Amino acid sequence: MTDRIRLVIADDQALLRTGFRMILEAERDMTVLGEAGNGEEAVALTRRLQPDVVLMDIRMPVMDGVEATRRITSAPGPASGSGSRVLILTTFDLDEYIVQALRAGASGFLLKDVPPEELAAAIRVVAAGDALLAPSITRRLLDRFASTFTVPGQSQRPAGLADLTERELEVFTLVGRGLSNQEIADELVLGETTVKTHVSRVFSKLELRDRVQAVVLAYETGIVRPGEGRITPEDEGAARR
């Protein structure tokens, strides 16, 4: 049991929660600790049970999934559930609430009609500490809903941004544009191992969990402007699925 990925399912539809539970508890490496019918219950359950991953619906009564995600991922200390990662479940892949949830600290999103094997695989990715979706797909969402943000560059910049070296700022900018470590290495003529070190330092200084949060922050602070993200045909296809 200790090696299993511990989950909380938050959705206001009991039938969907039951369906997800049946699918996930059939996986040998997963266990569902509890279910929540709204965001407030999700926050309380997360603080009490400390799951590895919270499957979070966005539109729920009492407290929506965006605010619940913000409370789970931003509050300091283990008692807050801040070690839990949030995976958004949604009906629409181009929904402004997804952008808000990513800004609030979610590690990615899935459509609710995703095949069971893809749902399980996505949970494993998030539980391992990785971002679920390609940063360039996140940038597609951000560009689509640019009006939901403050004017780029006008939001408060994190203190750690001033602590970045010139090279780290270059790396952060390229991460924000959706480039992989290998692509950044090619762009800057560096070894991939060196790039990984720079990325790690950038994440540490800016207190970022993953590349999704890095892309969001680059957008919010104006480091990357709308339309500057790198989106490949493969990314476009993945975003539509």
pLDDT, one tens digit per residue, over 113-155 is 889 999 999 999 899 877 766 565 666 766 776 666 555 445 5
pLDDT at 12 over 50: yes
pTM of the model: 0.73
If residue 159 lies in a helix (H) or strand (E), which one and from where to where? none
pLDDT, one tens digit per residue, over 89-123 is 888 766 678 888 888 889 888 888 889 999 999 99
The residues spanned by each domain of the chain are 5-133, 146-232
Q: Within 10 A of 64 (CB to CB), how many other CB atoms are there? A: 20
For residue 205 the two structure tokens come to 């200084």
Check residues 137 and 169 and name the one with the higher pLDDT: 169
- What superfamily in CATH does domain 146-232 come from? Response regulator (3.40.50.2300)
pLDDT at 239 over 90: no
Helix (H), strand (E), coil (C) string for 44-112 = HHHHHHCCCEEEEECCCCCCCHHHHHHHHHHCCCHHHCCCCEEEEEECCCCCHHHHHHHHHCCCCEEEC
pLDDT, one tens digit per residue, over 32-46 is 999 999 999 999 999
> Would you state the pLDDT for residue 235?
41
Mean pLDDT of 42-60: 95
Report the b/e string of 20-30 with b at 16+ CB within 10 A: bbebbeebeeb
Question: Do residues 82 and 125 make contact, with C-beta atoms less than 8 angstroms apart?
Answer: no
Domains 5-133 and 146-232 share a fold: yes
Top-level class of domain 5-133? alpha beta
For residue 114 the two structure tokens come to 């995703």
